[in-house]
Amino acid sequence: MNLDSIVFELSAIVVGAAVLGTMFLYAKQPIIIAYIVIGLVIGPSGFGLIRRTDHIEQIAHFGVILLLFLIGLNLQPGKLLRLFKKTALLTLSTSLAFALTSCLFALLLGFDQHSAVLFGAAMMFSSTVIGLKLVPTTTLHHKRTGEIMTSILLLQDILAVLVILFITGEKSDHVLATFTILTGKLILLCALSFAGVRFMMTPLLQKFDGVQEYTFLATLAWCLLWAEVAHTLGLSYEMGAFVAGLSIASCRIALVIAEHLKPLREFFLILFFFAIGAKLNLNIELKMLLAAILFGAVLVPLKFWVFRLAFGLSGEPSRLSSELAARLAQSSEFSLLVAFSAVSIGVLSDDNAMVIQVSTIVSFIISTYWVVLKHPTTISASSKLRQN
């Protein structure tokens, strides 16, 4: 048996996720956690059925790109800009609060100052994938909960790109210049994408809207084209995919496209959560491991409290503030990327990076349980809370 065969690896992941997912659903547990656990069990740190996860991570990244594309498909640009104006100050202030708190914890744990700052930068974001994956489609598309969450998470994604650029040394001595250049690149990306939809995609989709295969292929190509263009410009793949979806949202066929792409997105998100579990290596000093678990557990209620206070001060109703705070009360997949970037250039030790990873995954698990048990999601065990 060739354990390094991509067919074997995908088979092991899907079969394992299905078996463990069935057990989790019988036990009324969130199925997302099953995907993370199967990564830990059959990945390099477990039984080693899958010994290398690099290519799985790259394939899984496609699911996150599709998720952002579908979010863009269901938003109107004008409404999004209005939301950005409302949530910009809230996003920046809460991110700063989480960064300072995390930095202080790292210093108390014995990190040097530079590593502590990196720890704070990594832990200040919320998860786009976890947050939006657990929002029912009707809420994401038509309700204020989904709109506010999307605007905050996208602003955080922009901040995360800046952080990663600074860590890797690109223009790190010129913060304002870097921000200005990135903003200019984003404006250029939006202008080109919207122009492309108006003069090319809309006429083509109108002419061949009866050919379902072509519609699927053309829109998927549009997503990947702008994801790659964004990456070439120094932005993230996810940002390019979101802009691609946003640019095509005005087409009457947008919601139909979103429905067709959902199954594809779900498959690749299984791989994404598997990769998170597979990357986890618990072979670190016991004190550091326990501290990471503790911080991940404390971070969730801390973020909930800070977000709820911030939403209340911004004028949101109490019930909506509590729901939004719960849905945003975790660390981010960008935390893992920040840790990887810092280790790759030698500015963060492997053990310190593992503290970031363990804290992040613990926050994923606790936050997911909280949301699934208390708020409407697509995977709730309770029929009263389960919504599509």
Instruction: List phi, psi (to 5°) of 269.
Output: -70, -30
In a domain, 154, yes or no: yes
Query: CA angle 372-375-378, nearest 5°?
Result: 60
Residues of the chain with pLDDT under 70: 1-4, 75-76, 137-143, 161, 165-176, 178-179, 255, 379-388
Would you state the structure tokens that stand for residue 211, as one six-digit string? 């050919």
In a domain, 171, yes or no: yes
| pLDDT, position 170 | 47
In a domain, 112, yes or no: yes
What's the number of domains the chain is made of?
A: 1
Closest among 44, 54, 55, 18 to 277, alpha carbons compared: 44
Distance CA 153, CA 66 (A): 16
3-state secondary structure of 311: helix
Distance CA 362, CA 106 (A): 17
In a domain, 323, yes or no: yes
For residue 140, the enclosing domain spans: 6-374
Q: What count of Cα atoms within 13 Å lies in the side-chain half-sphere of residue 252?
A: 4
In a domain, 387, yes or no: no
Containing H/E element for 44?
A: none
Beta carbons within 10 angstroms of residue 284's beta carbon: 17
In a domain, 1, yes or no: no
Q: How far is CA 200 from the centre of its chain?
A: 30
**DSSP letter string, 333-382:** HHHHHHHHHHHHTTSS-HHHHHHHHHHHHHHHHHHHHHHHHHS-BSS-SS
In a domain, 386, yes or no: no
| pLDDT, position 224 | 92
Query: CA angle 68-383-146, nearest 5°?
Result: 25
Containing H/E element for 286?
A: helix 286-313
**DSSP letter string, 171-218:** TTT-HHHHHHHHHHHHHHHHHHHHHHIIIIIHHHHHHTTT-HHHHHHH
- CATH of residue 353's domain is 1.20.1530.20
Distance CA 326, CA 321 (A): 9
Distance CA 220, CA 377 (A): 26
- 288 by Cβ neighbours in 10 Å (0-12 / 13-18 / 19+) ranks as middle
In a domain, 307, yes or no: yes
